Amino acid sequence: MILLLGATGYIGQAFAKELQRRNENFIPLSRQQVDYTRFDLLLDFLKTKKPAFLVNCAGYTGKPNVDACELDKAGTLVGNVLLPQTIAHACAVAGVPWGHVSSGCIYAGAKVAEPGTVRVEKDFTQPELRELVAKHPEAIRGFTETDTPNFSFRDLPCSFYSGTKALGEEAMAGLGQSYIWRLRIPFDEFDNARNYLSKVQRYAKVYDNVNSISHRADFVKACLDTWKLRVPFGIYNVTNPGFVTTRHVVEQIEKFLKPAKKFEFWQSNAEFYQVAAKTPRSNCVMDASKLLAAGVEIRGVEEALEDSLKNWQPEK
Ligand SMILES: NC(=O)c1ccc[n+]([C@@H]2O[C@H](COP(=O)([O-])OP(=O)(O)OC[C@H]3O[C@@H](n4cnc5c(N)ncnc54)[C@H](OP(=O)(O)O)[C@@H]3O)[C@@H](O)[C@H]2O)c1
């Protein structure tokens, strides 16, 4: 049996759907039924039910966006640092292996490979870097699991949300047997306020940047496959291999969905942060090659993006 924490959430619902599709025996647990954020209650539940594996997709995401975390720092710490630490301790004591949904938002930018050197650039809104991305996408490399987060409390600036996600990973380190699955900007074919493709369509103006992104169903399949295939425990970047610019996503939306609206872009970082955002945003490229090398299949980002738009299901 698999125990699923946070099954009511946007990512948790996708895990529940995939576990059902696989005919897996699982228990979706909500804090309303058992307050799994309490060590004693969770340990008791684990000892009684003896799950073979636990999936944690519970956490604190600011709504409608990460700016909300700046207004509830205690809640953000509780959900993203104390909770994974509590689960890690309870699972270690009960001998239950588990997987934790983390985030790629603990990085900023990407690596630029040039003959003989690889350097990190944090801000891809700079004109020369935009040009490099357009003309030489092969020079852009993602952050790997061995790269230290560069958008965290240890490497400022960061958003409070990102800081807690990085700290959450640290809080689990060295405790029991676990996977850390890093999700990045979920999207799919189902129009929803949480879907990146819906957000891009609804923004008054679009912020053009460079990102790796995760198709929601591809993400949960890949996470569950790490356990199914018994790949070594550890951290995995679970993004569709490759990256996109927001401008390209807009072009694909225009091509496949033919919206009436004309998309506008923020002219500069200064304008974006003055009008639309409060706390710094993470935009980053992730390297998914560790996941692929472990034998877990996940399609490339272009295929996943096109497929989502071809099968787009507007919200009723
Ligand atoms: N959505 C994204 O854009 C995104 C991107 C990268 C990473 N992530 C990570 O993926 C995980 C799931 O995100 P999501 O988008 O599915 O979030 P969500 O829709 O807000 O759902 C999270 C669930 O966590 C549970 N929970 C437990 N403790 C909580 C707390 N202190 N505050 C709020 N909720 C709490 C709640 O379920 P019950 O109360 O029913 O138990 C809630 O339904 C999070 O760790 C998030 O950081 C999300």
Name the CATH superfamily housing domain 2-310: NAD(P)-binding Rossmann-like Domain (3.40.50.720)
Q: What is the pLDDT of residue 12?
A: 98
Q: How far is the CA of 87 from the centre of ligand 1 (A)?
A: 15
pLDDT at 272: 80
For residue 29, the model assigns a pLDDT of 95
Query: Which residue carries 């309490």 as its tokens?
Result: 38
- Residue ranges of the chain whose pLDDT lies below 50: none
Per residue in 96-125, pLDDT (tens digit) is: 999 999 999 999 999 999 999 999 999 999
How many angstroms is it from 139 CA to the middle of ligand 1? 34
Looking at residue 180, what is its pLDDT? 98
206: Cβ contacts below 8 Å, ≥ 6 apart: 200, 246, 247, 250, 263, 264, 265, 266
Q: Which residues line ligand 1 (CB under 6 A)?
A: 6, 8-12, 30-31, 37, 57-61, 75, 78-79, 83, 101, 103, 165, 183, 186, 194
pLDDT of residue 276: 79
pLDDT tens-digit profile of 277-301?
788 888 999 999 999 999 999 999 9
| Phi, psi of 265, rounded to the nearest 5 degrees | -115, 150
Counting atoms of ligand 1 from 1, which one is nearest the CA of 8? 43
What are the boundaries of each domain within the chain?
2-310
**What was the pLDDT predicted at 239?**
98
Q: What pLDDT score does 161 carry?
A: 97
pLDDT score, position 273:
78
What is the reported pTM?
Answer: 0.97
Cβ contacts of residue 128 below 8 Å, gap of 6+?
none
